[in-house]
Amino acid sequence: MLQATGIIKNFPGVQALRDVSIEVRPNEVVGLIGENGAGKSTLMRLLAGGYRPDGGTITLDGEQLKLRNARDAARNGIGMVFQEQSLVLNLTVAENIYLGEEDRFTRFGLVNWRAMNAAARRQLAKIGVDIDVTARTSELTFAARQMVELAKALTLEEMVERPLLILLDEPTSVLNAADIEVLFARVRSLKSRASFVFVSHRLDEVLAISDRVYTMKDGAVVAEHRAAEVTAPELHEIMVGRGLQAEYYREARQQPPGDKIMVEARGLGASGFYHGVDLSIRAGEIVGIAGVVGSGREEVTRTVGGFLPHDAGEMKIAGETVRFSSPEPAVRKGIGYVPRERRLEGLVMFLSIAENISLADLSSVMRNGAIDYGKERRLAADWIKRLSIKAPGPDAACRKLSGGNQQKVVLARWMTAGSRILVLDHPTRGLDVGAKEEVYELVRDLSDQGVAILLISDTLEETIGLSHQVLVMRDGEITARFDASPGNKPDQVELLRAMV
Amino acid sequence: MTFLPGRIAIMLGGRRWRSLAPLAVLVVLCVLITIANPNFIELRNLVRLANSAAVPLTLAMGLTFIIVMGSIDLSVEGTLSVAAMVVVLLAANDSNGNDYGWWAVLAAIAAGTVMGLISGLVQTMLRIPSFMATLGMWFIGLGLSVYMLGGSAIRLNDASIRNLALHRFLGLPLAVWVALGAFALAAVIQYHTRLGRHILAIGGDEDVTKLSGVNVVRVRIAAFALAGFFFGIAGVLAAAQLGQSHAVIGDGRLFAAVTAVVVGGTALTGGEGGVVNTLIGVLIVTVLANGMILLGISPYIQQTVQGLMIIAAVALSLDRVRLKIVK
């Protein structure tokens, strides 16, 4: 029914999709899996008219499609349920379901809300859920909102003659097990009327609901299976499958840590987030924390970075007891925080490389109380060379760099500020393979120089591969500790057992 | 059937007690001023109050749509002065020989609408933030009208247009009825049309609205044109009330309109509030001004109080803890 051939999509500095071909047949649920950054969401957005491909063709029932926007996709019977919830929270359920389709209820320029509410009620009844259509969407649970989104996608049935194609982009990420079952039951019962593409990184779910599964890696489709003929571990192997795992994470370069304890926590707690956390990081040591969303690991890193003050226990930085109420004192104590959202939190995108590098410690480029621009530029030029940052020069605006090079600028800034402790919060998110390798190389360099590193990452492989020591958190507590010295790396399954 | 306070709360855009706060403020204000000076509730004073609310209410109707959308329109004074200039110069006046009667009124409203349309086009086509686009339009409008008026005040001699201010129906000047008509029209647009709903949706989440297939650019342009339409009506009313047009006819109108919208409980971040909020906001601002005159408070102190009020209103209405960055 839908055929995408040779799709290419480039973003500044990253090739998100390289020559991707997939096919969706009538009344079929197609699973699409891959790690973060494999290109799943980009492909989905492209099929829904959100992006335009830089190459390749999309055909629907043999007819070539040129999708300029979401409306075009809708006219062709393609609807999407987005990863990030995509309802306008200040509108009611009915208003959301028919947002952009009010024409159908409009006479003489006035919208008949009663008719719209009734139609919305019918839509929700079709998928068998009972939600008040006049409620404000902000008052609904996440699970209910997901159902509303599904109902919204299904309204296309009323406008389009052909069977629908519904794209579900990680619809289960905010749902609990019971809600997932409800969602799956709806999808199965709707299969007679529509085809689905189901994106997730939870392999069991994908296998449970799909007829066929495509595996994506690094912007390309690397495998296609019938769901009945493949197992989750096999898929996982393909999805992650890097022949030389150890080499990828530079394990040979992992040195034993120094003696000096840089970060030490005893019974650390922040009410509502985590409690009783003991941890210590030595100079040159990388400590990774594994855990699912809500395990409290994010909050622990935020406490160390100075964003979330602890209210129980004790934290020592280089032997001195501290409690950070904001990031500023943390920076003064030599802690650098490398956030996951580089665009939002890591760099001031409109400033140049030189200005970003000196931001955390302007005194390093001051002379007689004024900023010495020559010194600032020389400093940046030096870092550009040392970290092989691909940029025209120190004056280039950071927004024009690729993700990997932006990450290097963030790290250069903390090195300039003399950080001896780094908090890496998903340091490779959104980077392509090559850029990731460069970041790993850099992390090893920093570790060699005696920088203590606290790491949380999107994937278990990365956590295990990079760390000297892995802690596992669940429900705000540390549930397991693993030594991860080279040749003695823990297994993912062991970690998973402690995570869930 | 919901009880009346609940229904009003829903109309005011929320189900929280806080959405009723503007109404409570209005009632308390009226009671306090009456206690201090019983002349306040005399019919004569209430009519005067309604009369002085007419122009701000009409202006604030237009501005409400823009603020609900999460944008701002600073061109209020410029657009109003253009409309006032057009009506005075085309109707019978003491400067030229024109005498187009009510065609002048239509032309003035059309001029206001076109000003808004240009703001909308500049904002969406040139991708200039509404703050800057309308700041520019403010001064373009002001400059244009002062130039056309030759820098002096020109009298409006058309008796039927003057009657907007002078003639009364059921005890209220026609201008007040026009303003109430503007309110009714704005309420219909907000609650019963696609445009009203799309404006609210853009204020709530523009990305999602776009992904839902709404032509966001068209809605934005239409919203600014709509605001210009209301500013145009307000310009005609202002000229009729003054009996003339001059360079400073718009002075202070922007502040009054923004204050009214914000005090009524419409969020500057967009997505919350609406024209009913603004009606209450206009009444609060007008009652307070009227009350301070009755109590013999110095005009300079009055200004200070209005300034305090707008800050207090924003402080009370926003969930500021959730705002990460304040610009």
Within the 167-196 window of chain B, which residues sit less than 8 Å (CB to CB) from chain A? 188, 192-194
Question: For A39-57, what is the mean pLDDT?
Answer: 85
The candidate with the shortest Cα–Cα distance to B59, out of B168, B155, B186, is B186
What's residue A211's pLDDT? Answer: 92
The CATH architecture assigned to A245-499 reads 3-Layer(aba) Sandwich (3.40)
Strands (E), A312-419: 312-317, 320-322, 335-338, 366-367, 370-371
DSSP character string of A477-491 = EEEEEEE--TT-PPP
**In the structure encoding, which two tokens stand for residue A198, read together?**
């189901």
Please answer yes or no on whether A113 and B192 come within 8 Å at the CB atom.
yes
Which of A90, A111, A113 has its CB closest to that of B200? A90
Which of A70, A109, A136 has its CB closest to that of B211? A70
Which residues, 6+ apart, have CB-to-CB distance to B184 below 8 Å?
none
Separation of CA B245 from chain center = 19
Best mean pLDDT range from A74-78, A385-389, B234-238: B234-238
- Chain B partners within 8 Å of A86 (Cβ): 207-208, 211-212
- Min distance A83 CA to chain B CA atoms (Å): 12
Q: How far apart are CA A191 and CA A212, in angstroms?
A: 14
What is the spatial order of strands in the sheet that A274-282 belongs to?
A: A274-282, A261-270, A312-317, A320-322
**B10 at the A interface (CB within 8 A)?**
no
Which of B15, B197, B213 has its CB closest to that of A95? B197
Question: For A382-396, what is the mean pLDDT?
Answer: 84
**B197 at the A interface (CB within 8 A)?**
yes
Strands (E), A136-270: 164-169, 194-199, 212-217, 220-226, 261-270
**ipTM of the predicted structure?**
0.71
- Min distance B201 CA to chain A CA atoms (Å): 6
What's residue A395's pLDDT? Answer: 85
What's residue B4's pLDDT? Answer: 46
- Min distance A223 CA to chain B CA atoms (Å): 31
Q: Taking the domain B22-28+42-263+274-314, which CATH number applies?
A: 1.10.3470
Residue B313 has pLDDT above 60, yes or no: yes
Name the burial class of residue A367, with classes exposed (0-12), middle (13-18) and buried (19+) by CB atoms within 10 angstroms of its CB.
exposed
Which residues, 6+ apart, have CB-to-CB distance to A364 below 8 Å?
A358, A379, A416, A417
Q: What are the residues facing A338 on neighbouring strands? A: A424
Q: How far apart are CA A249 and CA A441, in angstroms?
A: 8
pLDDT in tens, A164-199: 898 988 877 667 777 788 888 888 888 888 899 998
- The structure's pTM equals 0.72
What's residue B326's pLDDT? Answer: 53
Q: Which part of chain A has CATH 3.40.50.300?
A: 2-240, 245-499
pLDDT in tens, A357-388: 888 778 778 887 788 888 888 888 988 888 88
Helix (H, G, I), strand (E, B) or coil at A83: coil
**Angle formed at CA A48 by CA A44 and CA A51, multiple of 5 degrees:** 80
The CATH architecture assigned to A2-240 reads 3-Layer(aba) Sandwich (3.40)
Residue of A nearest to B213 (CA): A71
